[in-house]
Structure 1
Amino acid sequence: MKQIINTKFAKNIFLSALALFSTVTIMAQEEDTSSKFSLSGSIDAYYRTTFKDGGDATTATPTSFANQTGFALGMANLIGTYEMGKTGVVVDLVFGPRGTEATFNNDILNGVINQAYAYWNVSDKTTLTVGRFNTWVGYEVIAPAANFNYSVSYLFSNGPFSHLGAKADFALSDDVSLMLAITNPWDTNDISASGTYAVGGQLGVYGQFLNAYYDGGGQGGLGFEIDYTGGFDISEDFFFGINAAYNSNSETDSGFYGAAIYPQFTTSESFAIGLRGEYFAATQDGFDDVPVTALTLTGSFTKENLILKPEIRLDSFGSDNEPFLNSNGEATNSLSSFALAAIYSF
């Protein structure tokens, strides 16, 4: 039976933490009045074409972002950070299709705010954060400059994007970290209309991260997800990344599971090439519903602050699933695509 987190108890904890955070932040500002402001961000655009059986396909992959054919805009991203002593704020604004999809369009300020949070560095080993922040679950992130592949995985597309709540980060040692969080339910970034809340955490050990998330039934009635994210430097030029996740929704008897590998090889100071190989399966009523294998080969050429990413992608579903249409309008279970993306960061 699904366990519901006590609403009054969780709300009181959150409000008490917020009051404590605000009070001590004022005290910290009185002790250290040094301040600094920084602005960073990125802009990305791409060209994409899909093809099947000698002609252009008429549908896109069922993953997030970069699904437009022809020339298209990703998003403009502006991140402002203000820090005074041990406290500070971060406001992350997004404009464009990628940002709108990541914030669900009608979310806070019509999809403009990606992140907005305040933090307090209580000590060298402890940081408290309150506000809206991107998820700790998964290998990939919303901003394309931080991903090796330009298109995103099925695991990322089906996980949460952001959370609204409070979290505490602890550096237990130089190589071990712990994060604990209480937030609104799954992708509920304005208010918790369901009256329930979510809890989660992350344990990091020598660059390997075990992530967990549970809520008592928000807009999607999620339930539980556990996720492993990590990788290893095989050599100075060869990195092997790994992501695996399992999701279970007891309310709807559905979920997903899958794994992805990210071998990446750096050939020079300006060029690297990497492959994402992914197997993903959604479940419904306890049975596999949409098994899919996706292979994405991406090159990354860097010139100063500009990154050019040519990418070839092949998505192949099980024989019982034909979500794509070929150039003749006929259903098919696979799709090939090519994209060339340009990302400028500052």
Structure 2
Amino acid sequence: MKTKTTTFLKKATFFTLILLSSKAISQEEKPKSTLDKLLSKISLSGSIDGYYRYNFAAPNDDSVAPKTSFANENGFALGMANTVLEYEDKKVGFVADLVFGPRGEDAVFNSNDSAQIINQLFVYWNVTESIKLTFGNFNTFIGYEVISPTGNFNYSTSYMFSYGPFSHTGLKADIAISKKWSATLAVMNPSDYTENNPFDTYIAGAQIGYTLDNGSAFLNFRYGNEGEPGEVGPTFQVDLTTGWDLTQDFYLGVNTTYVSTEPQENGDASGFYGVALYPQYKASEKFAIGIRGEYFSVYNGGLTDIIGLNTQGDGDVITATLTGNYTIGELTLKPELRIDTTSENSFIDNDRGVTKSLSSFVLGAVYKF
């Protein structure tokens, strides 16, 4: 009985393997449907983040925080949910980058509708192996830091990032000059007017890039009228962004920028300028530590309600931000100590008196998928 059963099982197993093999072969030979081909070229990525913020020796309410973007609420606060849908073919593709939450709302602040969720929405065409055209709404190529918290080492952001452009809508051409050199040329709406152009004016943008295996440098420009003609003059910005792996574990980034807006009539130009250093050390596979040291200066009232200014409209701030990055899988915890010191009174203390400095702590949590 045992022998017969064993023989039967062997035969059944043999025929089952034949059937499964033939089915697998038929599936392999069956051509993919149009939907399958489309889905194979689509990817979904994004992030979710939130944070806790606390002031030392200053009230913990909404009115006391550095006037920089995103991480400026106190207590437990929300960042954003970011979903990026991408389609990539050999010649053409698109990106639909959607944001939900306070950080996302701040990132698209020039929208007339508070429910705006579009961070980026563009199509592109690889005209040749060396030329790529992008049409639509895309994040700026100017500056060191970016909107997504996954792209920044520090959780809070710099003054230069906060008051440089966030996004543009227009047409840009990315040109690969050689393996090391690249260029970008663009014509765009006024900065951060991403849904339409309410002024009938345009700005020009340009970039020259140099890239090696251990780092890169980009020199960026923008010029044009950023508002209603007759109310504001043209704005010019030049910006240098660079970063290098000096050793296997030590990285140094640098960003410097200068922005100038011409006066409508007689007078001096106004604007701001600054420089920031980003040294970072990788202590282990899971932990890295870095500091952002920034000097930021406003001249001739180029920005108001940002930091305290003197009677000539000048003022500056020095900021030191010490940040750790501890990685647990796709989750990164970012504990951060930050000190902002200004040339004029810009903050208040616990006694509601004016002061030139503010110390704060932030714990950011960023999940990337």
User: Corresponding residue for 2:217?
Assistant: 208
Give TM-score scaled by structure 1 length: 0.86
Match of 1:14 in 2: none
Separation (CA, whole Å) in 2 of partners of 1:119 and 1:93: 18
Determine the C-alpha separation between the residues in 1 that align with 2:50 and 2:177.
Answer: 40
**1:307-326 CA distances to partner (integer Å, 9 max, x unpaired)?**
000000000001xx212111
Residues in 2 aligned to 1:187 and 1:229: alpha-carbon distance in whole angstroms: 20
CA-to-aligned-CA distance 1:273-329 (integer Å, 9 cap, x gap): 0000000001116956220000000000011100000000000001xx212111111
1:177 aligned to which of 173, 182, 191: 182
**Matching residue of 1:120:** 125
Moved more, 100-109 or 253-262: 100-109
Q: Give 3-state SS (helix, strand or coil) of 1:174's partner.
A: coil
Q: Secondary structure at the match of 1:148?
A: coil
User: 5+ unaligned residues in a row in structure 2: which ranges?
Assistant: 1-36, 303-311
Higher-RCO chain (CA-CA 8 Å, sequence separation at least 6) = 1
In structure 1, what is the Cα distance between the partners aligned to 2:243 and 2:171?
Answer: 28
Q: In structure 2, what is the equivalent of residue 269 of structure 1?
A: 285
Q: Secondary structure at the match of 1:101?
A: helix
3-state SS in 1 of match to 2:314: strand
- The letter for the 2-side match of 1:256 is F
Contact 1:294 1:315 in 2 (8 A): yes
Which residue identity lines up with residue 313 of structure 1 in the other structure?
R
Percent identical pairs in the alignment equals 50
Alpha-carbon deviation of 1:251? 3.0
5 Å-filtered alignment, 1:299-310, equals 299-310=324-335
5 Å-filtered alignment, 1:1-346, equals 36-52=41-57, 56=60, 59-104=64-109, 106-107=111-112, 110-206=115-211, 207-218=216-227, 221-251=233-263, 253-284=269-300, 289-318=314-343, 321-346=344-369
Distance 1:342 1:81 in 2: 25
Q: How many corresponding residue pairs?
A: 311
Can you list the C-alpha shifts for 1:193-219, whole angstroms capped at 9, x where unaligned? Answer: 221101011100121100000013425
Looking at secondary structure, tell me which structure has more strand per residue.
1
Deviations 1:238-264 (A, max 9, x none): 011000000000036310001000000
**1:108 to partner: Cα distance:** 6.5
- Distance in 2 between the 1:277 and 1:288 partners? 24
Alpha-carbon separation, structure 1, partners of 2:317 and 2:177: 39
Aligned residues of 1:108 and 1:189 also touching (Cα < 8 A): no
User: Which string of whole-angstrom CA distances, capped at 9 and with x for unpartnered residues, describes residues 11-59 of structure 1?
Assistant: xxxxxxxxxxxxxxxxxxxxxx866111000000011101127x65750
Radius of gyration: which is bigger? Answer: 2
Three-state SS of the structure 1 residue aligned to 2:115 is helix
SS in 2 for 1:193: coil
- Please provide the CA RMSD for this pair: 1.8
